[in-house]
Structure 1
Amino acid sequence: MTEPQVGRQPVRVFLVDDHALFRAGVRTELDSITDEVHVVGEAGSVAEAVTGIAHHKPDVVLLDVHMPDGGGAEVLRRVRPEYPEVVFLALSVSDAAEDVIAVIRAGARGYVTKTISSQELVRAVRRVSDGDAVFSPRLAGFVLDAFSERPGAAPISDPELDLLTPRERDVLRLLARGYAYKEIASELFISVKTVETHVSSVLRKTQLSNRYELSRWASDRRLV
């Protein structure tokens, strides 16, 4: 376990994710590898997050992007006006441009994906607490595009893509990367039957006929 820097207090962290198993894993990892951060609480929904953040007043909130009752942007909308000193770092399975841009526009200080290592996550938490902006490498370009006015900047909305729910986008993204249904189910903590239901819904909404067409469609929209 690494020691905190002399004269510096541990960063007080609050976890927001709708998967209890994931929250438990993050808490265990952070508590076991370093004294630089201290997990003070956690929540599995927007409502729980709003209440918990108000109670604990953490330094940094690790925030999931997609949750059943509104997601990270909704937490930001409800919390930031009351507690502007709290810093938010998105931690999500999604690396889609529209998700990154939405949560940054809502006020998050950074965005990292769940492929990040424990040590990298500690550094990211410390950096956003110190006032830096932190992004997983390929995601920074999305933000630069969205906030630039240069010709050719990536669009931040797509009418066809907007037909899909956040979970359908997650399934589509993994499907387009070549994941089998069982692997998608494991990655997203859902059943194989639920994956099949989402894929059927995406096929219907996009009016496509198979996963190969879906993969090309997703690639054209920079989801992969």
Structure 2
Amino acid sequence: MAEEAVRVLIVDDHSIFRSGLRADLDPSIEVVGEAADVVAAVEAIVRTQPDVVVLDVHLPSGEAGAVGTGTDAAGGEAVIRAAAPAAPSTRFLALSVSDAAEDVVRVIRAGARGYITKGSSGAEVSRAVHAVAGGDAVFSPRLAGFVLDAFGAAVGETATTNDELDRLSAREQEVMRLIARGYAYKEVAAELFISMKTVESHVSAVLRKLQLSSRYELTAWASARRLL
């Protein structure tokens, strides 16, 4: 059975980026509209009721004195706070060039379900869109720590750390930490002087033993247990 299409609205003030992202998204994602500023974004979200809004953190307000603070840095936050009450089923995924802790924390506090950087590939953004649409939280590996530091690790998570780590071999633990920190497979291979195929094998074993489904979940798991 074909995967049900996820309806997405793209919010970014650069038209060339919106066009490029639209072209790179998986065919299972239907782009229902675009917007370039806070006011236009809120109007489009309320009108189209998309499943997911992919939005930049820094946006112009649009109309003076209208929605938002009028400052570029608060754009994404303003969109979420203004549109969410009128679009209760819509989820928000921040996609920004910024990896600053204050930007990440601010937009997550506003209600975003994820935050990934513009260095992500079209396939990575597509996976993130589907994850957020399904109710999961998604963060670029290097950003997950900001969120956990800001909101605190789950109570009792560290109590089971040793038992969980005992499931992994010493090499699997090394690979796990590097992947959770955001290293690419090629970088892990170079760091540990092993082949990419071996890295892939170790990652598969780690995810299976820890009952996780993605590197995003692995990053959150490791961060919650202070293993990064």
Structure 2 length-normalised TM:
0.60
1:38 aligns with 2:30: yes
1:11 aligned residue? 6
SS at structure 2 position matched to 1:90: strand
Alignment gaps of 5+ in structure 2:
62-73, 155-228
1:81 aligned residue? 85
Over residues 135-158 of structure 1, what are the superposed CA-to-partner deviations in whole Å (9 max), with x where a residue is unaligned?
Answer: 0001000000001289xxxxxxxx
Q: CA deviation at 1:94?
A: 0.2
- Please give the root-mean-square deviation of Cα atoms over the aligned residues, in Å: 1.4
Q: CA deviation at 1:20?
A: 0.8
Partner of residue 62 from structure 1, selected from 43, 54, 58: 54
Q: Distance in 2 between matches of 1:38 and 1:114?
A: 20
Partner of residue 115 from structure 2, selected from 94, 111, 114: 111
Identity of aligned residues (%): 58
The residue type paired with residue 3 of structure 2 is R
Counterparts of 1:124-135 in structure 2 under 5 Å?
124-135=128-139
Q: CA deviation at 1:55?
A: 1.3
Q: Distance in 1 between matches of 2:153 and 2:112?
A: 21
Structure 1 length-normalised TM:
0.61
Q: CA deviation at 1:12?
A: 0.4
Q: Distance in 1 between matches of 2:27 and 2:24?
A: 11
SS at structure 2 position matched to 1:111: strand
Counterparts of 1:1-224 in structure 2 under 5 Å?
6=1, 8-30=3-25, 34-69=26-61, 70-148=74-152
